[in-house]
Each structure stands twice: as structure tokens, then as C-alpha cells.
Structure 1
Amino acid sequence: MTAPLLELDNVTISYQRRRDLVDAVRNVSLVVQPGEAYGLVGESGCGKSTLAMAVLRYLPRNGLLTSGHVLFEGRDLFTMTAPELRRIRGDRIAMVYQNPGSALNPTIRVGAQVAEVYRHHRGLAHRAATEAALDMLRKVRISEPDRVAALYPYQLSGGMQQRVVIAMALASDPALLVLDEPTTALDATVQADILDLFQDLRGELKASILFISHNLAVVQQVCDRIGVMYAGELIEQGTIREVFQRPRHPYTAALFDCIPDFGVRKKDRRLAGIAGGVPDLADLGTGCLYEPRCLISRTVCRVDHPELMRAGTRHLSRCFFHMETPLPGSAAPLAGVAQSPENGRSDRLPLLSLNKVGRRFGKAHILDEIDLEIAPGETFGLVGESGSGKSTLAKVIAGLVPPSTGTVALNNERVAGTASRRTRRQRRDVQMVFQTPDATLNPKKRLASILGRAVRVLAGLTGRRKRDRSSALLADVQLPPKMMTATPDRLSGGQRQRVAIARAFAGDPKLVILDEPTSALDVSVQASILNLLLDLQRESEVAYLFISHDLAVVRYLSDRIGVMYLGEIVEIGPAERVFRPPFHPYTQSLIAAVPRLGTEKPARPVSLDVAPSGPADRPSGCPFHTRCPRAYDPCRTEAPPWRDAGEGYMIRCWIALDALEASQTAALRTRRKPDPVRVGPRP
């Protein structure tokens, strides 16, 4: 049998906190074979990244390997000298981080940064290193490598930056590539291209991969085996097929349930979030760490700590009752009747009306003649790649950025372009929740002060009425009253986002703009936030403008969806209709780029890693024609017309609807093959 490339033998990693040692990883054993891709998944704080840092012996000063061994090619990394470690890092082990912007030197051209790896690790001369760097940029599918090599990192898109980081990691031909959330911060289209790249490079370079992610669908696409971590322990391990077909730990099954199926809507079922949270690593009990959140726990689970036990041929589970693990979907609660304004929307005045709204910054057209209406109580989803204008449109509606042209109206009443010039009622009626609550909550203020100020400013309440309203808001977002005295730094990411949502509802708004509110959260927390938003909407009849790059989440939550490309809405209609042919060629590529649980990866009609034109140099005609495989002469010279596909569904495209439908239906039909991996019976 081949010796493992990487072996973690009973590894425990602790962090020094004042006078105490806190175990962040406990007794983890796993192996990665040569040429194998091993996926590591779990919620934030479960120890995935700590384990990755240990593989490179990059632990911070207060991090200690308190027991066990980390063996690479049979040698213990923690007994190596500093010169030996330097040779291993880069030469034999390389790492790709989540944020490529922070991994690249902003003052050095990208070609020089890749060439530096060849000079340092391969000993190549300057000219040979430069040529090798250009070859590697070609290998990671960067078009025009000579031009790109002369650019600085800030001049590249996020996907291009990540390709440069991958090129640097591969430059020394490493035996092991550690990928720590390498696609989390990327659009679905860019993520799909990066994942395709990993697959191709695996076959070409024969490198092993340790792939860390919270996205189960991505792990399914890339990896051969998977390990699931919880509270610092490995709780399940097996082949992708074994774990995805029949998970044998209740936590793994619960993670599957948190993810909205691509075809499931809010009217079909409620998402099954995981109650509670990851336990405090400084205060662990003696029993199973997952017991307080488990649906099948027994008395023995509270008393005894389970060891990893065999649940299949290569399948291990840390559960006394792993054979009773619920199938994914079997515990998912049914939704209440989701009230949707779709059927009666035409009889009511729109809550929000945008008329030919444009926004320019110098010569750059960020928004171009946007017409949009949102009804009271409606959830309108807005999707598109980064740079398409989604967040700018949200800021225009909220009054954070004034429109250059066009008008914004609320309840048929035109409002000022900036929030400072709007009335208190108008400011109260439109509120916003941002992607990262850390940046919008004052870290020095207690929640009582944060919510109290919002109640005073938006609702005009003071004294006891203000305190009562603040307490009611905290209860509405399902946080305990004792948190009123806490500061944001004492809360988890999901709890901070709940506080941000509570603050937005302080003045009983009519429209809440949600700009990527769940993209930075674990899937378990995401499910609870989406359920919370639906509950609040049911109670208050508030309308949502929901912005996200996660098409499955948008499809689940939205009544109608708009697709934006380069400052224009190119498709708009009911959520169900947008995901059936015919759809805009751009939408087709967005849908094809989404990794899905239990399905074979679909063939992609076009790779969108070809960078779009910038707002300052918009192409004439259809803005998508430079990336569209079906573009023809009119697309390059004239703006496309709106085509009515019925049911309130409109597409802005030169291609006839029947031609689009025929080709897209045929493409979908060819992709319908038996699922290679099934994830239980999904409702």
C-alpha cells in the first residue's frame, strides 16, 4: 500500500488564553494519499483553518501542538529545523488563501511575484524565471499573460487575483496544495472556473489537495473523501459517495438540510436550521459535544464521549447511534403558507418605483436607465456578478448615493436623491442590512444603546417606550433579553446579523434592502436568518430587495427576480419563470455555474471568466455580446429589445425567444443523467 503523503496522528492543538490552554483541535487523525483530494467541512470555529495552519506549521505564537504528530512524506513537521521548514514550504507544500488580495503584494507587478517563486525555490535566473512565470500564468488559464504580468494586483478582478495566487502556489510543483476557502469570496461564475481549473490541474500535476470549505456542493465537486469537523473534533469521515448518499452523523445530515435545494421555494418548505451553536471550547462537557443540538440524543450521549466508530467500508462516525441518523430532508419542517403578492400585485400601487435611474462616476456608467417596481410585501431578488451595479442600485434606493438621472418614488411619492434630504418617514420606510454586520455595529456600544438609538431616531420613542420597543425587537429576532448588555464583539456572526436586522426594523419599515446578508455566514446560520426574514415579513408585510450571488437562496426566498449585467437589468420576472427556458444567455451561464448537491456538474454554455468590459468602456449594442457565444451582428451595434415571454417575464435579447428556448431546453436535456451522488430524499 502506498505510504500517505500527509498524516495527522492524534493531533491536539491548543491556544494559550491568559493562564489557560484551550483545545481548538482535539485528537484528530486523518491521512491524505498521493494524488488524493480530501475535503474538510464544518461551521466557523470548528478548527478547520487551525488544522490547515498546523499542516504548514504556521500556528500563531499562542498556538501549540500539545499532542500527536503532523507527518509529511513520513517526516514530522514539528521537529524540523527552520531551514528545513523553509524548503518544505513552497517546494513541497503550498497554500491558497480565501482572500487573494491580502496574499499578493500590492506594490509588485504580478508577473514579478510569480517569477520570485521560481527564483527562490527553483534557483532560476531572472530571465528564465520570467519566462517560467508566463508559462504558469497560461497554465492557470490567464489570457494575455504578457499583459497581465505587467499589472498590479489591484488592476485584476478577484478571480484573476486568485488565479495568480494559484500560479504562485503551483510554481514549485508542490506535492500538497492546501486550499483554505479558495472560492468563498468569488462570484458563482468565477468560482466555477476556478473549480474547473483545480480539476484540470489535478490531472496534469498529480498534486494532492487538502480542500477546506463550508460549501458542501463545492467539496462534492472537487474531492474524493471528506472529513466533517465539529467543535475541534473529526466527527465523520468517508468517501464523497458514502457520506453524501447516507451521512452517519446527525450533524452532517443537519448541514445538508440547511442548504436550500436549487428547485425549492419558500412555499414548499421551511429551511431546517440547526438549533443552538458550537459549544465554548473552554467549557466542554464530558459527553458528546453535539448532544445539545442533536435530534436523536439519549442519556448516554450526555454522559459518555463517543469515539470514531466504523459505519461503512471506509466510513467513520463519532456517534453512538449513527445507524439511526435521519436522512437529509426527513427532519425538514414544512413551511407555513407563504403569502406572496404575485397574483394580486397589479391591483395595488407599487411601494417602490424607479424610473430610468442612472448613476455615473465620471465617464463610468454604473447604472443605465433602470426601471423597476416592487410591490408591498414582495421579495424581489437581484442577482449578477460583482460589478454589475447591484449594490450601487441598493444605495441609490436607500439614499446613500444620489442618482445621476431618473427618479425614485415611494408609495407614488417622489423622494429626494439623498437620505439627508428625505423626511423622517421616508428614511424610516427604507432601511438596509449589509453583508458584514461587524462594519455597521459600533463595537464599543451595548446592544441596548445600538437598538435604543435606532428606536429613538426612526420611531421617535424615548424613555420606557424606547426600552420596551428595543426589548421587543431583540425578541423578534430570537435573541435572549440578557444580550441587551452585551457588545457586538461578544456575539457570533449570526447573532450580530440578527441585531443588524432588528435595528433595521426599529421604525416599522416598508422596504428593507438586504445586500448579501447571508453570504458571510455558515449554512446553518444562513438557514436560521432566512427563516427569520420570512417570519418578520409574514408579521409585518414588509417588502425585501434581496441582493445575493447565491442563486439557490435567491430562488428560495424571492417572489420575482431581476438579473443585472453591467448596470442594466437584462431579465426580470417571477422567480419560477426566470429559471425555466427561455432565459437570457447570461442567466443561463449563471445557472450553469452553480454547484448543486447530488447532481452531476452541468456543461457550461460559456465560461464567464473572460472579464467583462468596465463601466467606463461599455461596448456598444448589447453589453453582454463580448462574452456571449451566440452574439451576432445586431448584438454588437444596437441595444437589444425587451421581449415579452408572458407571465410578467421579460428578456432583453436580440435572439428570438423560440430559438433561445429550443437550444436551452436541448442543453438541459443532454445534462439529465443519473445522479452520481444522492443526498437522501429531499422534500
Structure 2
Amino acid sequence: MKSPDYDGPILEIDQLSISFFTRLREIPAVMDFSVKVMPGEAVGLVGESGCGKSTVALGVMQDLGVNGRVVGGTIKFKGRDLAGLSAEELRDIRGNEIAMIYQEPMASLNPAMKIGKQLAEVPMIHEGISREEATQRALQVVTDVKLPDPKRMLDSYPHQLSGGQQQRIVIAMALMSKPALLILDEPTTALDVTVEAAIVDLVKDLGKKYGTSMLFISHNLGLVLETCDRLCVMYSGEAVETGSIDDVFDKMRHPYTQALFRSIPLPGADKTSRPLKAIPGNFPLPHERPKGCNFGPRCDYFVKGRCDAKAIPMARIAGDDRHTTRCLRHEEIDWDAPLVAEEDKDRTRVGEVVLKMEELKKYYEVSANALFGGGQTKVVKANETLSFEAREGETLAIVGESGCGKSTFAKVLMGLETATDGKILLHGKEIQDIPIEKRGAGTIADVQMVFQNPFDTLNPSMTVGRQIVRALEIFGYGSNDKVRRDRMLTLLDLVKLPRAFADRMPRQLSGGQKQRVGIARAFAGGAKIVVADEPVSALDVSVQAAVTDLLMDIQREEKTTLLFISHDLSIVRYLSDRVMVMYLGHVVEMGTTDQVFAPPYHPYTEALLSAVPIADTSVEKAHIVLEGDIPSAMNPPPGCPFQTRCRWKSEVPGGLCEAEVPPMRTQDGHQIKCHLSEEQLARMEPVIKVAAE
């Protein structure tokens, strides 16, 4: 049963400490952590991987597993200490009054059970209502989470839904019993930026409708700004700063919070004049934390003998709304001092065209009944007439949602697939029909790739040095092992890893270090073109800045052409020279970064820009949420590929958008594939506006 109305804090965590116990030692995961969530309030919990955010959430759910234990402090829900409840009382609260939404939606869904049955189970178990009533409620909640054709959704299995639809179902499931507290653990990380925008919108609306309090765990400061009222920044198991969004974003009082903001590409950041500043050093392991301030070894304001003398308590900031910091020097530091660029970096000189694509097409034939043969053959049009040039030393960004054809084009370029039609010219030589096994070592070395997930690309049973030497052997570099070993050590210097790492195994490296090894391997043969496929999306923001900076430095030295595939438009704006926007296999817009980020836009680019969360309170954004998912490449819509989701379609007369693929129009090198007239395009307003200081 639900407890009666309660007007105190919904969740009150006071001086919480959680440890995990192994055979060797006690590992303190969370120490002296306090936070309050009031009725109807959304509190964001931010910090890097391993800082203890998810451990706090699991502590609230009382689900710390066999090895985890609360070793100090209390967690109270509506005034009741959760540690004192019986297993039966806890079961009644979980899912009924406290619900949790996880990062990976399929972890919460039963693949063998229809959606309707899974949703109806929640109130039937927790509230004892009839199946009919539960099914009616499921229909209502699926309608609330804005899923198309709710009745069909209830009759579907999870695998028949897209990732964004699955996440909406998980949110619907969490809301089935109208919980007082909703915990969201990175709920949008695996989703496209446009789907993320719709889900964030949805969570905010439903929070208001159901009066639900929220604990929103994220490493994305922009998302927290858009969804939360208050914020708690965590570092190495401790809360280091808490306060209202305005206080923490505009009047930060902890060096770690400041360092986080300096490592993300906000409007105005520029890779040459205002580069990002990565946080020096590495995150401490739980059993190797320094004395005193945990952030001390990485802090610009560290004072020996003072900051490392004893444990540092949270201190109140006078005059602000419940604003606290874990910094001894917060009153002495000049927080408004401008960031001084360490060095002015030269812009990379752009040279001759090294890569040219002409009318490239890549189609796949799929049997309608591929499992047993027979049936009609369908064609998946993954890439439709791609044409572009890339020059020496240039960064060309390729952006778009999942399924738009970005990775397919990369596979054709790498020789993992061959083209259906059109040409790819590398240094004037056609390579579109040469699969990778027939390419010479020189061509393979010239075109290399850095992958999204560094964990999947390294051999776990081979040392770091051996993996780089192996790449050098394949590229035919050097006449003997000594020459190759020297080159391998030089490559470790290039990616700013200690030479001692040559003898380490991949499991001994952090995610950012593994990605650096991947970059060293890609540049082993002196690559002319590097395809970076979401190279920083699996990394923490502080590590992203370091890896992005590294790519830029290597590009300056090696004059490499970088094809940067991403859906994060903030990072694209920061580092690219030109941008190509793809949708359903088509290039819908292309131009310099300044052209693509200022009106006129293709309607799809406009929606993409609106969807990007920006961690800056002075930024105003137009609110454009795309309805529906990307259509299937096996069954694309007639006419313009974007017409099923376009908000401008009604402005084009005579059903032209549904009838014809638009022509590509070009003005000053800026290409847009759209039926809107010049006058209509000229009327477009900027999506992102930065308020005057």
C-alpha cells in the first residue's frame, strides 16, 4: 500500500558511506554523501564513471548485491529509514513507490513476453488490481509516453520496437504505479540525440503530470540543465558541490566543477583560439585515494600541507540556495578569472584533395525470408548518391542519427564492403571495387579507422606494445624488430602515453588510455585519412577533451585528413572545418561549420541543432522535437526522405515533398537538399542564441 501524503523530503540521504568487500580489502565506493530530494523536485547527480553515482542509486534501492554494504549514514524515504525495513516492506516500496530506469532498456524487458502483459504485471503485483484495470492503465501510460498506435505497442514483443520506443516502454513501466520517486540512471546514453530530446521532454512532462520526484544520474551537464532543479556533483565517492542549477552553473565553487565545464565544448570554444582544457592526471582508484582532498593531485589551486592535511567537510556558501562545496579555499579563489590559453595553436593548413566520392551508392539485397530462403528480394538503400571531397589536413564531420548510412559509407571506404555504384578516388586512384583483402599494404596504411568502443578493438591477451608492432608488421614498416619497436615507442609518445605502457595488458588501462592505443595503432603506418567513428562517445567528458585534443595535435603534425563521424553536434562544432549531414542514406546538407550552424538550415539540421543539450544557462534554444522514428531504409518514404517528420512540409505547395526527391542546391559552397524556396529558407531563425553578457 502507498503511504499517506507526506510533505517532508521524499528522499533524504545523510552522510552515507557504502563499501564493497573483497577477499583482499574493503573498497569504499561512497563516503560522507548527503543529498535531499523534495516533493516534485528533480535532482541531478553528475560526475565521471566510477565516482559512485550508480552506487548511490543502488543504495536507495537497497540492491547492493552480496559484497556491498552501507557502513555509515542513513537513507530515508518519506521519513522511513530504508535499512530498518523487512524484505517484504522493501519489495512493496520498490516498483510501487520508488522506480528505477536503467541505461540499457532491454535489461528491464523480458524478450519472451508481450509489452502489454509486462506493463500490466506491475500494478497487479503491487496494488492487487484486476487484469482489465491494469491493461486499461497500461494503455493510458503508453499513450502518455507518446508512442504511436498504443494498442499495437501493447501487442508487440520488445524486439519489434526501436531503441527509443523500448526506452519509452521502460519509462511507462516505471510510471505504472505512479511512484513518488523515479531514479533515472543514464536513461538516454544509448539513444540518438533527437530521440534523447524527445525522452527528456517526456520525462519533464510526466514528472509534472504525476508529481514525481526524480534523481537523474548523468555525465551530461547539458541534459541535467534541461531536466533538473538542483544538482549534486560527485568526485571519487564524495559529493563535492551541491546547489540549485543556477548556483552551480553560474557561481561554481569547487575546482572539479570548474574543470568539468572547461573540458566540454560550449558555444565559443574553438580548437585553435579557445581550446578545451582537459583535467590533468587520472581518476584515483578507490583504495589509492590521496589524503585530504580527493581532487588535490589534479587541482590547479592545490596547497601542500593544507589541502592534504585532513578530511575536508562540506561548507555552506553564504547567500545561495542550499549551495555547499567540499573545498577549503573556495573563498580565496578568483572564480571569475578568465581561462588563459596555454598556447596558441596554429590552424592546420588545408592542402590538396586526397579523397573524392562521386555519386557513391551502396545497396544491400535482403531476402524477404532470409532464414529459410525463398520469398521476394528487397533492397536496402544504405547510401544514396554520396558526393564530396576531403582535403589534406581537413576535418570533415559526418553527422546524423543511427541508420542514416554513416557507418556504411565508412565500411565502403575501408574496403570492408564494395560499392554498388559510383566512385571513390584516393589520391586519384579508384578503390571502390577493391575489397580490403586485395588492397596493398600502402592503401591499407593510408586509410585507417578509430572505433567507438576502445574495449572491443584491442586483443585482451596481447600487450599494448605488441599490438602496435603487429600493425607495423602488417603495414610493412621497418626492416627488423628493433626499428619497429622504436617506432612503437615513438607512437606511444605521440599519443601521450608513458613508454612503460608497452608492456601492459589492455585490462590494466582505463577507457581513455585504451582509446589512445587505438589511435596510436591507426597512425602506425602514417595514415593519410583516419575515419574516427564516434571516437569519444564512450568516454567521460574530461577524457573526451584530452582525446579530442590529441587527435587535433596529431592531425597538425601528420597533416592527416580526419573524417569524424558523430551525433554530438557540440564536439562537431568545436573541431570540424566542414560538416556533412546525412539522413536515410542521403546527404541533406553540406558546408563549412559556420554555414551549417547558422540559418538557413535543412529542416533536419535545424531539428538536430535544437536537440543538442548545451550546459550553458545563457543559451536559448528553439524547441523542435521530431515526431516518429527514422523510416526503414528497406522501405523509404516516397519523395523527400525527411518528409514524414518535417515541420516545414506544409509550406511547400502541391504535395511536392511526397512526390519528388529534392534537388541539391548550392550557394557559396553551402549545399541543401530541400524543396523550400530561397525566400522560405532565408526566413529561418537561429536555433541556438547566446544571451548577451
TM-score range, shorter chain: over 0.9
1:316 pairs with one of 317, 324, 334: 324
- The answer to whether the 8 Å contact 2:44/2:215 transfers is yes
SS in 1 for 2:14: strand
**Runs of at least 4 residues of structure 1 off by over 6 A?**
none
In structure 2, do the counterparts of structure 1 residues 129 and 490 end up closer, same or farther at CA, with 3 Å as the change threshold? Answer: same
Q: Distance in 2 between matches of 1:155 and 1:266?
A: 42
1:436 maps onto 2:457 in alignment: no
1:402 pairs with one of 411, 418, 426: 418
Q: How does 1:331-342 map to 2 (within 5 A)?
A: 331=339, 333=341, 336-341=344-349
Stretch of structure 1 that moved more, 174-183 or 456-465: 456-465
Q: How does 1:633-672 map to 2 (within 5 A)?
A: 633-646=655-668, 648-662=669-683, 664-665=684-685, 668=687
SS in 2 for 1:58: coil
- The answer to whether the 8 Å contact 1:214/1:523 transfers is yes
Stretch of structure 1 that moved more, 354-363 or 445-454: 354-363
Q: Distance in 1 between matches of 2:455 and 2:337?
A: 33
In structure 2, do the counterparts of structure 1 residues 196 and 329 end up closer, same or farther at CA, with 3 Å as the change threshold? Answer: farther
Structure 2 unaligned residues grouped into runs of 5+ = 1-5, 367-378
Q: One-letter code of the match for 2:354?
A: P
Q: One-letter code of the match for 1:56?
A: M
SS in 1 for 2:621: coil
- Shift of the alpha carbon at 1:612? 2.2
Q: How does 1:506-585 map to 2 (within 5 A)?
A: 506-585=524-603
- The answer to whether the 8 Å contact 2:241/2:253 transfers is yes
> What's the CA shift string for 1:193-236, capped at 9, x where partnerless?
11111111121111100010011111111111111111101111
1:330 maps onto 2:338 in alignment: yes
May I ask how many residue pairs the two structures share in their alignment? 666
1:458 pairs with one of 455, 461, 475: 475
1:212 pairs with one of 212, 217, 220: 217
- The answer to whether the 8 Å contact 1:435/1:519 transfers is yes
Per the alignment, residue 678 of structure 1 pairs with none
1:603 maps onto 2:622 in alignment: yes
- The answer to whether the 8 Å contact 1:253/1:328 transfers is no
Q: Distance in 2 between matches of 1:531 and 1:273?
A: 8
Q: One-letter code of the match for 2:315?
A: M
Q: Distance in 2 between matches of 1:308 and 1:604?
A: 38
- Shift of the alpha carbon at 1:262? 3.1
Q: One-letter code of the match for 2:664?
A: W
1:468 pairs with one of 483, 486, 489: 486
- The answer to whether the 8 Å contact 2:14/2:75 transfers is yes
Per the alignment, residue 34 of structure 1 pairs with 39
1:351 pairs with one of 348, 355, 363: 355
SS in 1 for 2:107: helix
Q: Distance in 1 between matches of 2:121 and 2:448?
A: 48
- Shift of the alpha carbon at 1:326? 5.2
Q: Distance in 1 between matches of 2:111 and 2:337?
A: 46
Q: RMSD over aligned Cα, in angstroms?
A: 1.8
In structure 2, do the counterparts of structure 1 residues 577 and 328 end up closer, same or farther at CA, with 3 Å as the change threshold? Answer: farther
Q: TM-score, length-normalised on structure 1?
A: 0.94
1:256 maps onto 2:274 in alignment: no
1:484 pairs with one of 502, 505, 508: 502
Q: How does 1:152-171 map to 2 (within 5 A)?
A: 152-171=157-176
- The answer to whether the 8 Å contact 1:134/1:145 transfers is yes
Q: Distance in 1 between matches of 2:679 and 2:589?
A: 16
In structure 2, do the counterparts of structure 1 residues 163 and 657 end up closer, same or farther at CA, with 3 Å as the change threshold? Answer: same
1:272 maps onto 2:277 in alignment: yes
2:201 pairs with one of 174, 196, 199: 196
- The answer to whether the 8 Å contact 2:139/2:151 transfers is yes
- Shift of the alpha carbon at 1:114? 1.2
1:7 maps onto 2:12 in alignment: yes
SS in 1 for 2:257: helix
Q: Distance in 1 between matches of 2:72 and 2:172?
A: 35
Q: Distance in 2 between matches of 1:161 and 1:298?
A: 50
In structure 2, do the counterparts of structure 1 residues 518 and 335 end up closer, same or farther at CA, with 3 Å as the change threshold? Answer: farther
1:307 maps onto 2:307 in alignment: no
Q: Distance in 1 between matches of 2:284 and 2:29?
A: 11
Q: How does 1:236-247 map to 2 (within 5 A)?
A: 236-247=241-252
Q: One-letter code of the match for 1:333?
A: A
1:84 maps onto 2:89 in alignment: yes
Structure 1 unaligned residues grouped into runs of 5+ = 676-680
- Shift of the alpha carbon at 1:341? 4.9
In structure 2, do the counterparts of structure 1 residues 59 and 183 end up closer, same or farther at CA, with 3 Å as the change threshold? Answer: same
Q: Distance in 2 between matches of 1:354 and 1:504?
A: 26
Q: Distance in 1 between matches of 2:402 and 2:343?
A: 32
Q: Distance in 1 between matches of 2:90 and 2:607?
A: 43
In structure 2, do the counterparts of structure 1 residues 600 and 70 end up closer, same or farther at CA, with 3 Å as the change threshold? Answer: same
- Shift of the alpha carbon at 1:78? 2.0
1:586 pairs with one of 604, 608, 612: 604
In structure 2, do the counterparts of structure 1 residues 601 and 138 end up closer, same or farther at CA, with 3 Å as the change threshold? Answer: farther
In structure 2, do the counterparts of structure 1 residues 673 and 556 end up closer, same or farther at CA, with 3 Å as the change threshold? Answer: closer
Identity of aligned residues (%): 44
SS in 1 for 2:231: strand
In structure 2, do the counterparts of structure 1 residues 276 and 361 end up closer, same or farther at CA, with 3 Å as the change threshold? Answer: farther
Q: Distance in 2 between matches of 1:326 and 1:130?
A: 58
- Shift of the alpha carbon at 1:340? 4.2
